[in-house]
Amino acid sequence: MTLAATTIPIAIGLNDWGAVLPELITAAGVLLMLMLDVSPLPRKTDVLTGVALVVVLLAAIATWNLWGHGQSYAMYFTVTGDKFAMFFNYVILLSLALAILMSPGAIRVSAFDPGEYYALLLSAATGMMLMAAGLSLMVLFIALELLSLSLYILAGFDRSRKRSQEAGFKYFVLSSFASAFLIYGMALVYGATGSTQLNVIDACLRGQTGVLGSAAAHCTTGVAANSPLLYIGIALMVVGFAFKISVVPFHMWTPDVYQGAPTPVTAFMSVTTKAAVFAAFVRVFNLSLGSVESHWFGLIWALAIVTMIGGNVVALVQTSMKRMLAYSGIAHAGYLLVAMAANNNDGLTAIAFYFLAYAVMNIGAFILVSVLEDRGEQGDEISSYRGLFYRSPALTWFTSAFMFSLAGFPPTAGFVAKYFAFEAIVKAGHTELAVVGVLTSLISIYYYLRVVVYMFMPATEGQRRDAIQIPGASDVALAAAVAGTIGFGILPTGFFNMATQAVGAMRAVFNQ
């Protein structure tokens, strides 16, 4: 079946806005935050935190409504409200809610402007959700720049700390180079295929004529699929996407930015940036460029290998919790590339489920740092966690659950996520990637369990021994994160089925 325009229910008029309603709600939330910020409100931080959570809730309700209404397309097939986009909306909104709950303490300690801070978080989330829904190279790039510009500012938001300012500047400069690679690659792919729409690029490379128009002759003769422009464009796009998801060797910005940015911002961007970019990465490569897999598989294979090894090995020697989690995130990007390299439904489903699991366990790990920093303590040095069990048993046990999940111990969400990823690549016939994934996961046990061991060790002389009272908002975030970490591991079937439906809906866009 071809992708003829008559077979695609393209929405027009008001329906266009309905397909992007979650994004419109978060965008409206940005404006609302800025207006409330200049209002003389009592307890402004608490009020704006509550309003931000309401915006997230409304966006989640809109996402659920779109999930139940099937496929929808908008803006002349440049944006979709399919279940794949909605699944990633859930991941992004869940991460945003957890980050908001972590934020009141950081706002008070560092004297942030709460209106500007929450407006930037919502702005970044808007770009992320739009990126997950994009069906055009141009929409993907614009969405990427929207989320990136918001995160540049958030990374350097703590103007009282030089390290935060450096983080924002480094992120801006290096990310700008990556964006240049990405847009140049997109331009070359456009030159090879004659379109920026992902479904048309797919049809062109497959030699289908239903939606090609004037490009039909160029595509059906096989010129596009073998064009040097396409080869170079694919390579440049891989570089651009790889930087954004912190893949070795394009990862050098990650530890410095993670360590310098405010902890709630680091927690948020550590999950959501990867999720949004991977959603676009999958649409472009596994779907739009899926018929020319031979052009890009070798790159993904090599990047997966070096990323899994590099991220885990360097994490072994880190003494900073945030830098350790940065290298941990790099390693997890490698595991996700393994699932992507499978280039089958199992691999794509594994990616979607992986991000759901990663959101709760990774942000949960940052909550420990946030709670200690909000008390004016040293929250980033792993050695400072000695004696934590005697000060807050609940915080210690919950953080231990996150560490076990990140390491991939059953019955946590991290174990199930890795299992699905490795199973997919074995089914695809590339067992060597699964072997490297398992071996590097074994390496990771050391640095994850080192955190657990320190928390249960007695405090040294000079370390604080007073009890830790977890603030109410952080307490809710901690409980939600640990519930997801255990729940997604013990009862993964329903969530995995949702991920399966999401992948099926994404393929339906391309009639694959």
pLDDT in tens, 110-161: 778 889 999 999 999 999 999 999 999 999 999 999 999 999 999 988 877 7
Q: Is 289 helix (H, G, I), strand (E, B) or coil?
A: coil
More confident residue, 471 or 75: 471
Buried b (16+ CB within 10 A) or exposed e, 470-491: bbebbbbbbebbbebbbebbee
Q: Residue 357's pLDDT is what?
A: 95
Task: Report whether pLDDT(250) > 50.
Answer: yes
Q: What is the pLDDT of residue 70?
A: 66
Asked if residues 89 and 59 have their Cβ atoms less than 8 Å apart, the reply is: yes
Residue 222 has pLDDT above 70, yes or no: no
Count structural domains, the chain.
1
The DSSP result for 423-464, as a single string, is HHHHHTT-HHHHHHHHHHHHHHHHHHHHHHHHHHSPPPTTS-
Would you say 209 and 2 are in contact if contact means Cβ atoms under 8 Å apart? yes
pLDDT winner (highest mean) among 22-26, 102-106, 112-116: 22-26
* Euclidean distance between CA atoms 131 and 141, whole angstroms: 8
**Domain region containing 156:** 5-509
The predicted pLDDT at position 5 comes to 40
Cα separation, 165 vs 260, whole angstroms: 8
CA 31 to chain centroid, in Å, comes to: 24
Q: How confident is the model at residue 210 (pLDDT cuts 50, 70, 90)?
A: low
User: What pLDDT score was predicted for residue 512?
Assistant: 54
State the Rg of the chain over Cα: 22
pLDDT of residue 1: 33
Q: Does the pLDDT at position 45 exceed 50?
A: yes
Predicted structure pTM score:
0.92
Q: What's the token pair of residue 300?
A: 């993904």
pLDDT (tens digit per residue) in 164-191:
888 888 899 888 889 999 999 999 999 8
